[in-house]
Amino acid sequence: MTNSQSFATRLFGLTILISTLSGFISATPATTDKKIIYYHSTINNTDTPVSLLPLINGTSDQVVTNIIIGQMHLNTTGLSLNDDLISSPKFDRLWPEVAQLQQKNIKVSAMLLDKYNVLKGNQTVFDEHYAFLHDALKAHNFDGFDIDDEDPTALPIQGIERLIDRLRQDFGPDFLISMSPVASALAGGSNLSGFNYTTLEQQRGKDIAWYNAQFYGGWGDASTPDGYDAIVNNGFSPDRVVMGLLTNPSNAGSGFVDLNTTKATLQTLTSKYPQFAGVAGWEYFNSLPGGTQAPWQWSEFFAQALGVNTGSQSSKRSTRAVAFKA
Ligand SMILES: *[C@@H]1O[C@H](CO)[C@@H](O)[C@H](O)[C@H]1NC(C)=O
Ligand SMILES: *[C@@H]1O[C@H](CO)[C@@H](O)[C@H](O)[C@H]1NC(C)=O
Ligand SMILES: *[C@@H]1O[C@H](CO)[C@@H](O)[C@H](O)[C@H]1NC(C)=O
Ligand SMILES: *[C@@H]1O[C@H](CO)[C@@H](O)[C@H](O)[C@H]1NC(C)=O
Ligand SMILES: *[C@@H]1O[C@H](CO)[C@@H](O)[C@H](O)[C@H]1NC(C)=O
Ligand SMILES: *[C@@H]1O[C@H](CO)[C@@H](O)[C@H](O)[C@H]1NC(C)=O
Ligand SMILES: *[C@@H]1O[C@H](CO)[C@@H](O)[C@H](O)[C@H]1NC(C)=O
């Protein structure tokens, strides 16, 4: 890809949802507010379709709360998913899977990794280009939208706020608007979006469900708790900030941290901040430790690392339920 791929190399964890996992065990329902999120970008691994269904088919513990589909890109003629228009028949296998996940209460968002520059300009221009986004979100019944703005020059904060306001107006109070800034941007350090996230949180925090902070690519480091602490010290509540991670060292962006080291970081953070929001993995198809043969194992590993009580396999299968709140 062109621009998008260079963005992708800086991409971070993506992700999403305000969710509450609850009631895995009928007698003593475990409750957790942790989000466990996969970004799903590689729809086909070369010629083989990548299925999300193992996340709900009993192979997995069904600990995933959110899937974020993308990267999508918006231009003056339409919305694309990776290299193809979102309406392409190439995605015919994806949409029924999305519906099945939603039936299991997994919330599914769309992620636009973009310069957001075609949303710049007067209201007529905005409306014309936003319509592509709106129509696709409706057509595929998305539960949310993840804003990954990776161009510091394209859209000022007012432009992002116009988009947030419009999504809220069009999709209602339960629609999950999340953002995926680089981790350092939430700590008051370097950024890729060009605006001040503290200001955005003050002005639109009530409409932003949570942040998927990218702890990789040189903009964050999951091998220690320090970067996350810096975000909290900069004023963001831990229940609003999900830690975005690479799921495999070969994925776009440097900064993969081995799973056990990341687990140690998470254990420190969850004991310090019981309301710690969770993790988001970029991306699903080759997630370790299972890799392409068993990408769902990543979510099981991190559920355990976060202390999410998944109960025994059998109790989960019979009684598990996942409830979300926005
Ligand atoms: C779940 O999905 C995996 C991977 O596609 C497959 O190997 C397994 O047979 C499926 N299990 C069930 C119960 O459908
Ligand atoms: C917009 O994106 C679509 C899908 O990637 C592409 O086919 C089209 O040529 C692009 N249009 C412009 C004006 O760049
Ligand atoms: C994925 O592979 C399937 C089966 O080969 C094909 O029908 C579909 O068009 C491919 N989708 C994408 C997004 O390349
Ligand atoms: C909006 O901006 C476009 C592109 O710059 C311009 O062609 C159009 O006249 C403007 N419309 C209004 C109502 O100002
Ligand atoms: C961001 O905004 C906050 C709150 O207004 C302010 O304290 C901080 O200095 C700003 N950061 C930058 C880099 O401008
Ligand atoms: C964001 O980064 C740009 C450099 O790309 C810098 O000029 C700007 O001050 C930064 N903004 C904030 C709010 O940190
Ligand atoms: C994590 O450490 C345990 C105990 O040393 C080891 O058995 C396991 O293979 C490691 N997991 C990964 C994913 O590296």
Six token digits for residue 98: 């999305």
Ligand 4 neighbour 121 (Cβ under 6 A)? yes
Ligand 4 neighbour 123 (Cβ under 6 A)? no
Percent of the chain clearing pLDDT 90 (strictly above)? 80
Q: pLDDT tens-digit profile of 90-133?
A: 999 999 999 999 999 999 999 999 999 999 999 999 999 999 99
**Cα(259) to centroid of ligand 7, in Å?**
8
Whole-model pTM?
0.87
> Tell me, what's the pLDDT at 32?
60
Q: Rg of the chain's alpha carbons, rounded to an integer?
A: 18
> Tell me, what's the pLDDT at 18?
30
Flag whether pLDDT at 318 surpasses 70.
no
Flag whether pLDDT at 144 surpasses 80.
yes
Flag whether pLDDT at 272 surpasses 70.
yes
> Tell me, what's the pLDDT at 111?
98
> Tell me, what's the pLDDT at 57?
82
For residues 35 and 210, the answer to whether their CB atoms sit within 8 Å is: yes
For residues 19 and 37, the answer to whether their CB atoms sit within 8 Å is: no
Flag whether pLDDT at 11 surpasses 90.
no
The residue ranking higher by pLDDT, 324 or 67, is: 67
Residue nearest to atom 9 of ligand 6 (CA): 194
Task: For tokens 């209201």, name the residue.
Answer: 123
> Tell me, what's the pLDDT at 309?
65
289 upstream amide cis, omega within 30 of 0: yes
Flag whether pLDDT at 285 surpasses 70.
yes
- In ligand 5, the atom with minimum distance to the C-alpha of 196 is 1
**Torsion on CA atoms 120, 124, 130, 134, rounded to nearest 10:** 160
**Cα(298) to centroid of ligand 1, in Å?**
16
**Cα(101) to centroid of ligand 7, in Å?**
30
127/5 Cα distance (integer angstroms): 27
Taking residues 260-267, what's their average pLDDT? 98
Percent of the chain clearing pLDDT 70 (strictly above)? 84
Flag whether pLDDT at 322 surpasses 60.
no
243/191 Cα distance (integer angstroms): 16
Taking residues 268-272, what's their average pLDDT? 98
Six token digits for residue 32: 């957790």
The distance between the two most distant Cα atoms of the chain, rounded to a whole number of Å, is 57
69/233 Cα distance (integer angstroms): 31
* Residue 302, CA atoms < 13 Å, CB-side half-sphere: 33
Six token digits for residue 255: 């900064």
Chain length of the chain? 326
Ligand 5 neighbour 205 (Cβ under 6 A)? no
278/257 Cα distance (integer angstroms): 16
CA of 31: how far to CAs of 25, 279, 295, 324, in Å? 10, 17, 25, 11
> Tell me, what's the pLDDT at 326?
28
Q: pLDDT tens-digit profile of 192-219?
A: 999 999 999 999 999 999 999 999 999 9
> Tell me, what's the pLDDT at 300?
93
**Cα(29) to centroid of ligand 1, in Å?**
27
Domains of the chain: 35-317 (3.20.20.80)
Ligand 3 neighbour 43 (Cβ under 6 A)? yes
Single-letter amino acid code for the residue at 261:
T
Q: Nearest ligand, CA of residue 48?
A: 3
Backbone angles phi, psi at 98, to 5 degrees: -60, -45
Ligand 3 neighbour 90 (Cβ under 6 A)? yes
Q: Quick count: other Cβ atoms within 10 Å of Cβ 322? A: 18
CA of 228: how far to CAs of 86, 218, 219, 243, 274, in Å? 35, 14, 12, 8, 14
pLDDT band at 33 (very low <50, low <70, confident <90, very high): confident
**Cα(145) to centroid of ligand 3, in Å?**
24
Flag whether pLDDT at 256 surpasses 90.
yes
Taking residues 182-187, what's their average pLDDT? 98
